[in-house]
């Protein structure tokens, strides 16, 4: 009996040891969760559609410029040109230098002209206007230009021959110049530099600028429509321009 009890006890101990040994083995480690990426410092991840801000400047570095809010319109530069436009020397169509100040005291209509334009017949109206009002103090100054559609390709001599023989032009004509672009003549820089609605480059041939007796440019009449142009398109004998000329001729210089 003692031997049987000892054997039973030994078997029980072996069983218990086996269970203990199984429990002493290293248990498998649970799988690690993937590390979540975080946004860099000072760059929070987008939330709700908000843009990510750029990094702040390091010490000693300039701070990055911030973008202007959407829809903000930059302020336009204000025109600061003196309206006096007669302090300029030009060359007439024969090549002789002429000071525009010789016309001070008159009402002056400055027109950029061309020989091959749809508006070229306006030479007739300009000449009639000159014949009618010159004794009252109106003078018309024609400045040929090839800037629009290459519609004034001739030489000064050819232009003079054409406008005098075909249209009987007798008002002062000047040499061919650029009225827009990099080679813009100083006179047209002055005219274009005026505040709206007078200023701005001519938008086509036969754009007209009116100058009062004191030599200040005071009005503009376009000959051709452009998408953002709401001013009236004017022929030389239109009522709108005639009324303005009347007003200026009656004023004292």
Quick one: DSSP state of residue 38?
-
Helix (H) or strand (E) holding 107: strand 107-113
Tokens at residue 236, please? Answer: 């030389």
Told to judge if 17 belongs to the known catalytic residues of this protein, a careful annotator would answer: no
Phi-psi group of 168: left, alpha or beta (phi > 0 → left; psi -120 to 50 → alpha; rest → beta): left
Catalytic annotation, pick one of 4, 17, 117, 163: 117
Region for 186 from its dihedrals, namely left if φ exceeds 0, alpha if ψ lies in -120 to 50, beta otherwise: alpha
Angle, helices 156-167 vs 122-133, to 10°: value is 70
| Alpha-carbon dihedral 119, 195, 210, 218, rounded to 10 degrees | 150
**Do residues 179 and 147 touch, judged by C-beta distance below 8 A?**
yes
The 8-class DSSP code of residue 208 comes to E
Q: Which residues pair with 33 in a beta bridge?
A: none
Residue 118 is classified by DSSP as T
Name the residues annotated as catalytic: 117
């Amino acid at each position: 009996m003692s031997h049987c009890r000892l054997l039973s006890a030994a078997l029980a101990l072996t069983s218990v040891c086996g269970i203990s040994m199984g429990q002493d083995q290293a248990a498998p480690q649970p799988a690690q969760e993937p590390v979540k990426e975080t946004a860099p410092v000072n760059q929070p991840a987008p939330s709700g559609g908000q843009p990510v801000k750029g990094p702040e400047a390091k010490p000693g570095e300039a701070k990055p410029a911030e973008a202007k809010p959407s829809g903000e319109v930059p302020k336009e530069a204000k025109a600061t040109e003196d309206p006096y436009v007669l302090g300029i020397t030009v060359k007439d169509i024969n090549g002789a230098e002429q000071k525009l100040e010789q016309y001070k005291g008159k009402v002056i209509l400055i027109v950029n002209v061309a020989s091959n334009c749809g508006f070229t017949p306006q030479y007739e109206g300009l000449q009639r206007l000159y014949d009618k009002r010159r004794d009252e103090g109106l003078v018309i100054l024609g400045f040929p230009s090839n800037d629009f559609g290459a519609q004034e390709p001739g030489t000064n001599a050819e232009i003079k021959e054409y406008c005098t023989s075909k249209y009987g032009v007798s008002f002062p004509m000047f040499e061919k110049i650029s009225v827009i672009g990099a080679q813009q003549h100083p006179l047209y820089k002055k005219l274009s530099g005026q505040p709206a609605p007078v200023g701005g480059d001519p938008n086509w041939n036969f754009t007209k600028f009116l100058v009062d007796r004191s030599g200040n440019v005071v009005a503009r009449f376009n000959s051709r429509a452009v998408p953002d142009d709401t001013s009236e398109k004017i022929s030389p004998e239109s009522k709108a321009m005639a009324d303005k000329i009347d007003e200026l001729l009656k004023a004292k210089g």
